[in-house]
Amino acid sequence: MDTAYSFAAMPISNYVFPNDLHVHWSMMIVLYPYITGLVDGAFIIAALYYLFDIKTLRPVARFSLLFALAFLCCATLPLLLHLGRPERNLNMLLTPSPTSAMAGFGYIYAVSMGVLVFIVLFVYRPDLVELRVTSKGWLQFLYRAMTFDSIDLSEDALVLDKKIIRFLVGIGIPIAVVLHGYVGFIFGGVKANPTWSTPLMPVIFLFSACVSGICAIILAYIVIRKIKGRTIDHRCIKTCIKTLTLFFILAFAFEMLEVFSHSYLRTGYHHMVEGLLNGPLADSFWFWQVKIGSVIPLIILGVMGIFNIKDRLYDFMAAVVSTILLLQVFLMRWNVVIGGQLMSKSARGYTEFHPEWFGKEGILAVIIVMVIPFIILFVFSRIFPFWTTGNETDV
């Protein structure tokens, strides 16, 4: 790393402006696009089943909706932890300004939350109606509210439900795409930062979001089913992997195209961006994100796509590749968010990022924020049945 560092950064005296020494957008801002990305990808899986009729995805379709909802509940948590005065967060929604990109995210987030909640309610309605009959007390009240106090499961009502689901998922796709594309735009819109300020940013974020969400669904499905001792639907995993392969090729291609554009265009700050990728980010970008996190999964996905592999091995490989890609996307967020801030506007120096353990943006807080969606998911599992006998394995 030292040679690369000195090669690119040699004429630079490591002169850093005092206001650039500290990385202001730290780990919570890494988590923010990561969590919204998981929501986005999980929603894509559900949309493929409910709107595009990809029947093999049935075993994971309902679960991915709940997974998306659990993570969407926590999508703003990192932002609130990052704010100095989190109680003022709603002020920006009261008086949105066209020059403030964040207020736009607030509105898009609220709309996507509303749409996702209603999709879940309509998808689960037949189960909720049944559970309402058998439950008691507060839970029964909850089920009554969630079924709009109706126990109508007639053919007519179910047909209507199906139409509503298709409509909601139909508008849900552009909303989900805008939700995460907007996150990319928030970074791409920071014109003061040469590594972020590219129109490719929303596209890169969007595709890598789909990758992380699909991986999370594959991994969660395999792990939960294994723990519960239930069967794994191989055809479902296969469809997920095929979809993942497509999105990952797009994501990786765009990630590399961005680097290529920077290096071909050689804009004013190019020497700094090049020095950043080959210097402070040489390990986390080139080695971990590109070589380990992208090239290896690409080979594994290629093997899984071309060769005939036994079902059990295929599922195992799916779990492995999903784990690597989940880390790859996290590293990509890290390299963009933290990495992008390591270069000083002086164009003559790089700073360092030292993560803290116990601060409200520290490593412990990161772990807690990532655990909360799983707790919410567990609570959901007590209210909504993840799997029914109907979607055990058959389609």
Partner 1 sequence: MDLSYRMRLLIVLISIGVLAGGGLVVKRLLIPDSFGVYGPYRADAIVEAALVPIRHGTNASCFKCHPYEANIHKNGRHHTISCEFCHGTYADHVKNGKKTGTLPVKKGKEITTLCLRCHNTEIKARKEKVIKTVAMPDHLKDQNVKITHNCNQCHHVHAPLKYIIRAKQITGLMEAGS
Q: How far is the CB of 74 from partner 1 (least distance, A)?
A: 23
Binders of partner 1 among residues 6 to 25 (CB under 8 A) are 15-16, 18
- Residue 114 or residue 305: which is nearer to partner 1 going by CB? 114
Q: What is the DSSP letter of 105?
A: H
In the chain, the amino acid numbered 226 is K
How many residues at the interface with partner 1, by CB under 8 A? 17
> Rule CB under 8 A: is residue 145 a binding residue for partner 1?
no
Q: How far is the CB of 105 from partner 1 (least distance, A)?
A: 17
Q: At what angle do helices 296-306 and 311-340 cross, to 10 degrees?
A: 150
- With tokens 């999709």, the residue in question is 119
Q: How far apart are CA 250 and CA 203, in angstroms?
A: 9
Q: How far is the CB of 342 from partner 1 (least distance, A)?
A: 17
Of the candidate spans 37-45, 62-70, 144-152, 319-327, the one that interacts with partner 1 by CB under 8 A turns out to be: 144-152
Q: In DSSP terms, which residues pair with 350 in a beta bridge?
A: 343
- Pick from 103, 99, 100, 71: nearest CA to 89: 103
133 HSE (CA, 13 A, CB side): 9
Look at the chain and count its residues: 395
Binders of partner 1 among residues 199 to 228 (CB under 8 A) are none
Give the x/- contact pattern for partner 1 in 146-175, rule: CB under 8 A.
--xxx-x-x--x--x---x-----------
HEC secondary structure over 299-326: HHHHHHHHCCCCHHHHHHHHHHHHHHHH
> Rule CB under 8 A: is residue 367 a binding residue for partner 1?
no
Q: How far apart are CA 38 and CA 214, in angstroms?
A: 8
CB 7 within 8 A of CB 180: no
SS3 92: helix
> Rule CB under 8 A: is residue 102 a binding residue for partner 1?
no
- Work out which of 3, 95, 308, 389 binds partner 1, going by CB under 8 A: 95
> Rule CB under 8 A: is residue 101 a binding residue for partner 1?
no
- Work out which of 80, 107, 114, 223 binds partner 1, going by CB under 8 A: 114
- Residue 158 or residue 299: which is nearer to partner 1 going by CB? 158
Of the candidate spans 90-98, 167-175, 305-313, 324-332, the one that interacts with partner 1 by CB under 8 A turns out to be: 90-98
- Work out which of 2, 3, 88, 97 binds partner 1, going by CB under 8 A: 97
CB 335 within 8 A of CB 284: yes
Query: Applying CB under 8 A, which residues contact partner 1?
Result: 15-16, 18, 93-95, 97, 99, 114, 148-150, 152, 154, 157, 160, 164
